[in-house]
Amino acid sequence: MRLILLTNARQYCGPGAVTALVQSGAQVFCHDASFVSPDARKNFEQETGARALGAQTPVDIQAEILAVAGLPDAIVSNDVYPITRDAIEDIPLDDFRATFDAVVLFPIELTQAFLPAMKQRRSGSFVFVTSARETRPEPGFAVPTSLRAATTAFARALAKEAAPFGIQANVVAPNYLYSEMYYPRAKFIDDPDGRALIAEKVPFGRLGEPEEVGALIAFFASGASPFTTGQVVYFSGGWP
């Protein structure tokens, strides 16, 4: 049974990924900020069939999963931080730093924690969930655009460096995916004006569904195509 670690399981691509990974027959261990609560961990496990980790930092996540399950076959780094809209000259540097810590530094530290053992084993897969924003920068969104692009570039660099050890690194880069953090249901699905706005921007005419991005993540995490590495797949319904 394939062992897979997923971060931020309650956010962004997490819900769809959990479902798809569990359905694939994998043993799925999950991190989430809410899992500091034992009740939240218990409820999540009952709802999903996945396991919840209480650890919050990359080093602690590594220690906990190694202790209870072993070295993962795949790591899905699904990183999140709330987006604010600011002109470049008005970006609060604290916001830039906090976003950097969450969506760039965290996945790099997680990679550093697991990569040596994966190299020794000579197998493994990293899936980084970033963003398609870099394909069409929009005014006011320089922070998520530039920092998500940084993680995408890191994944490509990792793919080159890790390939001789049989390790894959690929990127799923969404935009216009339903999630309560970025495209909440009340505004973009339930509201007719929000639906019209999405239909105007996205060739597919709607937001992407969690299960759709989950299927893509599950493929990359499956190890079914080990020669596939260094790829960036834009999950954006034809946008831009």
Residue 31 is part of a domain; what is its CATH number?
3.40.50.720
Q: Which domain holds residue 43?
A: 3-235
The predicted structure's pLDDT at residue 76:
99
Compute the C-alpha angle 86/98/140, nearest 5°.
15
| 240 within domain boundaries | no
The β-bridge relationship of strands 124-129 and 27-30 is unpaired
**Could you tell me how far CA 49 lies from the centroid of its own chain?**
19
Give residue-wise pLDDT tens across range 172-216: 999 999 999 999 999 999 999 999 999 999 999 999 999 999 999
Q: What is the DSSP letter of 169?
A: E
Q: What is the largest CA-CA distance in the chain?
A: 53
pTM for this predicted structure: 0.97
Residue 157 confidence (pLDDT): 98
Spatial separation of the C-alpha atoms in residues 129 and 13, rounded to whole Å: 8
Report helix, strand and coil shares of the chain as percent, to nearest 5.
50, 15, 35
Identity of the amino acid at 238: G
Query: In this structure, are strands 124-129 and 232-235 parallel, antiparallel, or unpaired?
Result: unpaired
How many domains does the chain fold into? 1
Q: Are 93 and 32 in contact (CB under 8 A)?
A: no
Question: Hey, what are 37's tokens?
Answer: 């609560």
Per the domain annotation, does 27 fall within a domain?
yes
Does 167 fall in a domain?
yes
Tokens of 48: 């999903």
Residue 90 lies inside a defined structural domain of this protein: yes
At 16-68, the pLDDT tens digits run: 999 999 999 999 999 999 999 999 999 999 999 999 999 999 999 999 999 99
